[in-house]
Amino acid sequence: MSLIRSSYVSKSALGVGVAALALVASGAVQAQTAAETQAQIDTQTVDDIVVTASPIVGSQRAALNQQRNADNLINVIAADTVGQFPDQNSAAALARLPAVAVQRDQGQERYLQVRGGPNRWTSVSVDGVNIIGVDEGGVSRAFRFDAVPAVILSALEVNKSLTPDLPGEAILARVNLRTFSPFERRGFHAQGDLGYGEMDLGGGPQEQAALRGSWSNDRFGVMAAASHYEREQITDNREFSYDADTGLPEAFDIRSYRVTRSSEAAMLGLAFRPADGHELFFKTLYSNFNDDEERNQYVLELADAVSGTIGADAGDLVGVPVTGAFNYGEYRNDNWISTLGGDHRMADWDLSWRINYTETENTTWLPMMRQMWVNPLTSPSLSYDRSDPNLPIVTLYDTVAGAGGLARGPARDSLRQGDPTLNLMIPITSAVNTESWVYKIDATRTFDWGGRSVEMSAGVEYDSREVRGSAISQTSVLMLPALLPRVGLTFNAADYVTDRPWDTGFPLGFRINWVDNVAMRRDIDGILTALEGAGLYDPANLTAPNGLYTIGEDLFAGYAMAKFQAGPAQIVAGLRVEHLSQDIGGFVPDSPTTFLPVNASQDDTSLFPSINVKFDLTDDILLRLSAQTGIARPSFSVVRTSASIDDTGETVSAGNPYLEPERTWGGDASLEWYLPGAGLASVSGFYRNVDNVLFDSQTVVEDDLFDAPGLDRTGYDYVTTLNGGEGKLYGVEIAYLQQFVFLPGVWSGFGFQGNLSLLSGDFEAPDGRTVDFPGVSDTIANASIFYENHGLSARVSYQWRSEWIDTLSFAGFGDQMRDGYENLDLSVRYAVTDNVSVYFDANNLSDETYVAYQGDALHPTEVEQVGRRYLAGLRFRF
């Protein structure tokens, strides 16, 4: 325990040190005399633009200009800057901005958490059009950023305060992904990159390719882009379960995943200016994300041992049942986003309109093979040492028959993977499809009102969404020993065990060999075809009615706002009104074998007033103040009128169609100082009061409602979403960015980018407890030291976030927690010519281990590691 606490202290100290370094560097700038500073600024600015053509400084300067001129509190990162980081997708790039953290899946960045809040508190738009995301099973509205490559982007924007023209469905932030327009560059331009590398754990390949081309003149423009990314990785994984009353270990779950992860994207854009002041455009984007995942899993069922002792630190057991699970599963995510729009200047009016169609599709197919050791004499005996609770060391022994019953026999150095005597097949599946249409029109005109210039804006929007899906579940358990003789086939999972040991960096105490899941999957497909032909298996029945749901949404919105100058202040104020109608359909179990259709509907009208005030204190220093309201609506499958069952994880997940949306009011304040060298020093604070807080609740199934023939599901974890009481979330963000242009000679190429976020908040749970918000880390730190000069661009980047609550638990001995983690990256680029550069990226140099635990660090529930990864390649532009 003391070692863990020491680690926390060192990481926190490093985060504070990042902020201290930023302040010291900022102080050094301020210490110069005004004359020296201005002379250096003037000289260096010319050098940056004309001589060195610094991609970091050039793109940062454009992004900071947009940020400075914005009406609201916003952080911007340009796509060219993204290219200087070893970031494969937009989630990783956005995590470099202040108070932005990411959720990772097997080490890869996927979802954003801005200011520590859950991802549902951040909404997403593409080119200003609202996009509702969906993930596996539809459990989140969050947009998947891992399928959006940088090559299609012009800039990434994080709006931390809202204006009335932005949708109210954002409590903490709204992220806008601006895609490339062919009118951004006149004439023909092309850029691309090719890269190849290796994953440190398992030695799998990593490859990347992207290409974008554009052409435009005064009237017409066209662009096309495509990208590909793929990596083959090993994921080390250990999971554990505990007795709810004693906290003693019940099972050690040992896993190894071999994942081939790929994403592709293609985009076409057309733009046309039929006359001065008029522009029409059409953009269509397709992106996908694919996981082909091999799972090798063995669970040592300590609690079901024939005899022995289970202790917190060590144990000795005889006849421990083992369950094996294997699959070659397929996860697919596809996104189609198409927008037709126009911007027009007509007399004194600026008019813009958009029509958007977005479709997302998530499918999961996991034909899971399970082995069970049902003969105690073939089940191993074992002893374990939990000196390191994250990685217990297990020693295996034979189990032998003695005079007094079963006893521990000779030690063995490996798991006998050919011993199990029962094979089961569990098809696991889900599919979620969403379609949405967005129609919006905005108009702006400047009026003279009593001698004061006032810019008035108004707009209307209609969103129509249809969601059809099923949560991840399974209803069939195919007892292969009974079924296969009826079709003249045989099967034994042990036949696919290879002589290749697992690739693992985790100590275990015994050897396990890899199972060939690809060959097993090929034969399973043949078995399922044969069983289907014999009428013994029907894929149409894989999802029970209680796993299906449909949701229809219609959103009508309108707003009006005014922007005007009042003394030294620019004020943007107005009101947005949104009306949402929602119809939900699904089924609930009436008994273990029958289901009842249930429909629910909700109507909600919400008002979203907001005000943003900007003071130009000097030419380079701004003060921003804002107040706003917002809403976060429950996710799709969270409000379904159904429940899904996972026998592998022993979990029942149920929807709650009567959830209330989370509603918030609050404010922001920010002081921004724009520095030479495309720099910025800022400090900002925010406060959000949140009512009806949504949170995941975990209890235990206590009746037979979810039982099935041969399956007793009493005691399974029961997970659903509930509304809590009132809560508050607040924090302070400190950021500093600057290339040190005031330094002489080659030293002027050095720079620093860093930010520190200190966050806090809590809410009232239904049991009366005051608990922290799930997903909120109290500290998030980012730091990069970079060098940019004479064709060389290099940076070392560090990220860290502290621990946070993942799921509140109202049974057992504590909440589900996620331990803090750090990440260290290196990127180097060198311009061989003006148009060609070479690069080298190294990700996760800290070789981070991701840990989840229940209650305290002595009870880890998941420990995962993916290893370092390296990529080298070539980039070009002309």
Q: pLDDT tens digits for 348-386? A: 899 999 999 999 888 888 888 888 877 788 899 999 999
In total, how many domains does the chain have? 1
Identify the pLDDT of residue 107.
Answer: 60
Identify the pLDDT of residue 53.
Answer: 36
Residue 487 has pLDDT above 70, yes or no: yes
CA dihedral 70, 76, 79, 80 (to 10 degrees): 90
Residue 117 has pLDDT above 80, yes or no: no
**Is residue 44 very low, low, confident or very high in pLDDT (cuts 50, 70, 90)?**
very low
**Is residue 539 very low, low, confident or very high in pLDDT (cuts 50, 70, 90)?**
confident
- Mean pLDDT across the chain: 83
Identify the pLDDT of residue 550.
Answer: 87
Residue 409 has pLDDT above 90, yes or no: yes
Residue 138 has pLDDT above 60, yes or no: no
| CATH number of the CATH domain containing 211 | 2.40.170.20
Range of the domain at 386: 2-877
Residues 217, 186 contacting (CB under 8 angstroms): yes
Identify the pLDDT of residue 258.
Answer: 93
Query: What DSSP state is assigned to residue 487?
Result: G
846-878 pLDDT, tens digit each: 999 999 999 899 999 999 999 999 999 999 988
Percent of the chain predicted with pLDDT > 70: 85
- Region 30-52: mean pLDDT is 33
Identify the pLDDT of residue 13.
Answer: 36
Token digits of residue 618: 């000097």
**Is residue 452 very low, low, confident or very high in pLDDT (cuts 50, 70, 90)?**
confident
Identify the pLDDT of residue 80.
Answer: 65
Tell which wins on pLDDT, 150 or 730.
730
**Is residue 59 very low, low, confident or very high in pLDDT (cuts 50, 70, 90)?**
low
- Region 663-681: mean pLDDT is 91
Identify the pLDDT of residue 31.
Answer: 35
Residue 25 has pLDDT above 60, yes or no: no
32-36, 99-103, 152-156, 312-316: segment of lowest average pLDDT = 32-36
Identify the pLDDT of residue 102.
Answer: 66
Q: Which of 306-315, 736-745, 755-764, 775-784 has the highest mean pLDDT?
A: 306-315
Q: Which of 161-175, 301-315, 751-765 has the highest mean pLDDT?
A: 301-315
Residues 520, 493 contacting (CB under 8 angstroms): yes
Identify the pLDDT of residue 412.
Answer: 93
- Cα separation of 22 and 589, whole Å? 58
Tell which wins on pLDDT, 349 or 640.
349
- Region 747-759: mean pLDDT is 89
Cα 656 to Cα 624, 692, 716, 761, 813: the distances in Å are 40, 14, 18, 25, 25
156-160, 434-438, 572-576: segment of lowest average pLDDT = 156-160
Residue 775 has pLDDT above 70, yes or no: yes
**Is residue 576 very low, low, confident or very high in pLDDT (cuts 50, 70, 90)?**
very high
Token digits of residue 366: 């996991």
Identify the pLDDT of residue 545.
Answer: 78
Identify the pLDDT of residue 139.
Answer: 54
Token digits of residue 322: 């083992």
**Is residue 470 very low, low, confident or very high in pLDDT (cuts 50, 70, 90)?**
confident
Identify the pLDDT of residue 652.
Answer: 77
Residue 51 has pLDDT above 60, yes or no: no
Token digits of residue 6: 């020491």
Q: Provide the residue type at 701 as one letter.
A: V
**Is residue 87 very low, low, confident or very high in pLDDT (cuts 50, 70, 90)?**
low
Contacts of 39 by beta carbon, 8 Å cutoff, 6+ apart? none
Q: Which of 34-43, 319-328, 569-578, 677-686 has the highest mean pLDDT?
A: 569-578
- Region 646-656: mean pLDDT is 73
Query: What DSSP state is assigned to residue 856?
Result: S
The model's pTM = 0.82
Residue 304 has pLDDT above 90, yes or no: yes
Identify the pLDDT of residue 474.
Answer: 62
Cα 451 to Cα 320, 448, 454, 562, 563: the distances in Å are 86, 6, 9, 15, 14
Residue 41 has pLDDT above 70, yes or no: no
Residues 705, 728 contacting (CB under 8 angstroms): no
For β-strands 173-179 and 122-126, DSSP reports them as parallel
CA 318, chain centre distance (Å): 42
60-76 pLDDT, tens digit each: 777 788 888 889 988 88
Residue 417 has pLDDT above 50, yes or no: yes
Question: How does 608-624 read in b/e, with b if 16+ C-beta sit within 10 Å?
Answer: bebbbbbeeeeeeebeb
- Region 471-482: mean pLDDT is 74
251-288 pLDDT, tens digit each: 999 999 999 989 899 999 999 999 999 999 999 999 88
- Nearest by Cα to 796 from 843, 836, 749: 843
- Region 753-775: mean pLDDT is 83
Residue 50 has pLDDT above 50, yes or no: no
Q: Which of 120-129, 142-151, 212-221, 767-776 has the highest mean pLDDT?
A: 212-221
- Region 561-585: mean pLDDT is 93
Cα 230 to Cα 237, 291, 382: the distances in Å are 21, 10, 40
Identify the pLDDT of residue 226.
Answer: 93
Q: Which of 198-212, 530-544, 752-766 has the highest mean pLDDT?
A: 198-212
**Is residue 57 very low, low, confident or very high in pLDDT (cuts 50, 70, 90)?**
low
Identify the pLDDT of residue 8.
Answer: 32
Tell which wins on pLDDT, 112 or 633.
633
Query: What DSSP state is assigned to residue 832?
Result: S
Identify the pLDDT of residue 116.
Answer: 67
532-536, 613-617, 696-700: segment of lowest average pLDDT = 696-700
Residue 466 has pLDDT above 80, yes or no: yes
**Is residue 56 very low, low, confident or very high in pLDDT (cuts 50, 70, 90)?**
low
The end-to-end CA distance of the chain, in Å, is 56
Burial class (CB in 10 A: 0-12, 13-18, 19+), 126: buried
Tell which wins on pLDDT, 128 or 472.
128
- Nearest by Cα to 231 from 261, 194, 256, 254: 261
Residue 335 has pLDDT above 60, yes or no: yes
